[in-house]
Structure 1
Amino acid sequence: MANQAGKRPLPEVFLNCPFDDAYRPLYQAIVFTVMALGYQVRMALEIEDSAQSRLAKIVGIIRETPYGIHDISRAGVDPDSGLARFNMPLELGLFLGAKAYGGTVQQRKIALILDTERHRYQRFISDIAGNDIQAHKDDPRNVVTKVRNWLATHAGAGTAVLGGAGVFAHYQRFLVDLPAIQDRLGHDDDLPFVDYQTVVRHWLAGSPLPDARAS
């Protein structure tokens, strides 16, 4: 997905996470962090097409994205249905499968796997033992730092990236402005993904991350 006409497309990150209200603070923090560090977020929510299945959307996005953030913290028993929630592990499996069985480009895929606790996954998806699972403890501050640190390792030699505390402080400033932005746009409820991404992009254009190299 291109950034803007005439500009080099931003590197893209597939975000595989829950969409429930309880998770929203983490989801918003992840999207902000990814975009603040100069990446584009891709999710199934970006496409509204009733003629295309959700799985087809996800497969297409995974095919196009070199990076993936996968939060499996909600992979557990649904309190309403009593059944397990496996959407996130399924999408993680698709991403890892593309890396394992795809061509040269797909084999370069890089993933960040998040969970509430670092070793909780061993109780329901032990086959990914050996992967470096990062725990966010359901804390937006933690998830910002985990995502920031992961992206910083791929920023390229010589690139100075603001630390996790600095990125989170910048996110807090955005949250202060967000209610007024929503009110101005006429959104009574939480912003849909595409709108939220647009708001973050415009806010960051006027308030980019401070240069980590500045004294």
Structure 2
Amino acid sequence: MAEEPPRKRMVRAPTRGSDDARATPARLKTAHKRTPSQQAWLERQINDPFAAKARAHGYRSRAAYKLTELDDRLRLLKPGARIVDLGLAPGGWTQVAIERGVTQIVGVDLLPVDPLPPAKILQMDFTDPSCGPMLIDLLGGPPDAVLSDMAPNTVGHRQTDHLRIVGLVEAGADFAVEVLRPGGVFVAKAFQGGETAEVIAKLKRAFADVRTLKPKASRADSSEIYLAATGFKGR
């Protein structure tokens, strides 16, 4: 009898994958001259689906997807609006605003930021008293929205770091109340905690609606939230 030909093995067709696909986490091949925390951060980045999407789309940071979700839900960015972006580095939020039709936008950060025309960018400390007037002068008038993704450099002490971020949220909120047009919007990154509740109470006195939101692009293990205050009542 003739021998039967060898059976072909069934091979599953490759898939394109998705953000929810389960796969073995990638690991860096070397940890040379990196601290354990640096190594962990880098491994988290290469395994982060939002970071991968940002690279593919051309966004400068995964944080862009936080603003896109907030805008999809609340319609914060309108063509022709004037926008201030606080803590804009590396520029993901400004990219989203420009992509969605905003042409009048100014931003500030302590770090240098590559140009993002038509945005006008300041490199300075937002808490410097001269910064606010400079932003409004560059913008050419009161903004329709103040966006803040500011975060302080952490020191590793949870309570201290929390108080520092709350301080930045308060500074951003005070600036927004001082400069926004009636009906305007303030959005800021914050973290869950008692002090944040005090900021929310202050915002509720100045805005018609205040919400706390956690976009999908915010990591699940982070206490990060976003405050979205809309319908500024005016001064």
Q: TM-score range by the shorter chain?
A: 0.3 to 0.5
Normalising by structure 2, we get a TM-score of 0.36
More helix by share: 1
Calculate the TM-score normalised by the size of structure 1: 0.39
Structure with larger RCO (C-alpha < 8 A, sep 6+):
1
Higher share of residues assigned strand: 2
- Bigger Rg, which one: 2
